[in-house]
Structure 1
């Protein structure tokens, strides 16, 4: 399956990534992306920026290197209540919010606790997608979490970086199971490169193969086209973005 949107990318502002936003945009164009979300880590991650960084993303042009740019964040899940590490006042300044488990912020717990945490993240209504759920360090009840995500229109991420075997080792089989369950129940799937270096923007070889193997229909993959992605944002209650009129 081909994708026009990359919904998970980092700049050096995250503290452990190595490219600028302009470099990311240039490589997004080179790798045939029509749109990408810039999603640096929120402040609980060591080295990550203050929340004002995310509020001030309004200064970013809507197009860089002929590629549409959405302003987002990869927020850290903080506790079993499903709280994330950005103040409520930031939400209205963001186009896209990913919520993810990170070992540096919240230590893995047992399966029941991890599952309850994600259910609360979904129900709190502040995240548009759940990041890299295949991480074997955070065991969860896939069916329960994905069914809840479908009910609340939260996308499930298939993270290409997790499938490369360099981080979150052991994610491949789990991600395939996640994708199969999502396909079966009709949940929304998003694809993120999770690029921490510009050349990885829009690189989806492993995610594409896995999604095809799982039999996920293109209609459920919100990154398949810009129009699908922008319609999903509308479904999430996000405002219409006039600058992207031609992409809807």
Structure 2
């Protein structure tokens, strides 16, 4: 049976449109027997009233303990793709201070366009050495050439996110996530399973992703957050 023991994509009240504190998220993670939790609030490019400024992210490693109540805390960000060139909304100097960087497209920030333009986004993101995870890759508003780009993610050692919250809410996410996962299986591309929780009770909710991956007989060894050791191995910026 497939499993994931660390939630690699979660939000706190620092994302403004999320509704729980980091401690509340930690408490739920503990109750659900997770061994780690990544805090990945939205970067400032989402706009005023949606997130805290970049200083919030730059201070995380110093302010938040490495372990809280026995739970490993991974300090990260969900960075916004700002344009079709794949530029992100935080400087390298901030990324250097974080354990984990997710790059995601949000409709409020970068306008959905053609498959060719979306391919360009992910081609440039793949080459960005600071990006670890490709956020909610199954979003149908940003369709891309799946096979070509998944092969590129393999070449540049990116981790593809299978985002459980996308399944009911994002366009064609169930079909796209399945197609993407099958290609990750074919080309041996690493994935992470996440909740994208915006409220504490959703922390560790991987049901949609796990059910789909079980159905396609996805290899457990390609799931980087199956345990803490495998996640730390996949994220070179994290202090071991």
Query: Are 2:80 and 1:81 equivalent residues in the alignment?
Result: no
Give unpaired runs (5+ residues) of structure 1. Answer: 242-248
Secondary structure, counterpart of 1:137 in structure 2: helix
Matches within 5 A, 1:88-107: 88-107=92-111
Residue 4 of structure 1: aligned partner: 5
Paired with 1:143 and 1:152, the residues of 2 have a C-alpha distance of: 14
Q: TM-score, normalised by structure 2?
A: 0.96
Query: How many angstroms does 1:153 deviate by?
Result: 0.8
Residue 144 of structure 2: aligned partner: 140
Paired with 2:231 and 2:103, the residues of 1 have a C-alpha distance of: 18
Segments of 4+ moved more than 6 angstroms? none
Residue 119 of structure 2: aligned partner: 115
Give unpaired runs (5+ residues) of structure 2. Answer: none
Query: How many angstroms does 1:239 deviate by?
Result: 4.8
Residue 53 of structure 1: aligned partner: 56
Query: How many angstroms does 1:214 deviate by?
Result: 2.2
Secondary structure, counterpart of 2:224 in structure 1: coil
Secondary structure, counterpart of 2:107 in structure 1: coil
8 Å CA contact retained: 1:31, 1:203 = no
8 Å CA contact retained: 1:160, 1:192 = yes
Residue 240 of structure 1: aligned partner: 239
8 Å CA contact retained: 1:5, 1:33 = yes
Task: Label 1:199 to 1:239 Cα distance change in 2 as closer, same or farther (>3 A).
Answer: closer
Residue 21 of structure 2: aligned partner: 20
Secondary structure, counterpart of 2:142 in structure 1: coil
8 Å CA contact retained: 1:180, 1:215 = no
- Give the number of aligned pairs: 236
Secondary structure, counterpart of 1:177 in structure 2: helix
Secondary structure, counterpart of 1:124 in structure 2: coil
Task: Label 1:98 to 1:119 Cα distance change in 2 as closer, same or farther (>3 A).
Answer: same
Secondary structure, counterpart of 1:75 in structure 2: strand
Paired with 1:41 and 1:103, the residues of 2 have a C-alpha distance of: 14
Matches within 5 A, 1:86-235: 86-163=90-167, 165=168, 167-234=169-236
8 Å CA contact retained: 1:51, 1:86 = yes
Paired with 2:83 and 2:101, the residues of 1 have a C-alpha distance of: 17
Deviations 1:55-86 (A, max 9, x none): 01021011223211000000000112211100
Residue 244 of structure 1: aligned partner: none
Secondary structure, counterpart of 2:165 in structure 1: helix
8 Å CA contact retained: 2:232, 2:238 = no
Deviations 1:160-198 (A, max 9, x none): 1012x1x21421011000000000110000111000000
Secondary structure, counterpart of 1:39 in structure 2: strand
Q: TM-score, normalised by structure 1?
A: 0.93
Query: Are 2:48 and 1:37 equivalent residues in the alignment?
Result: no
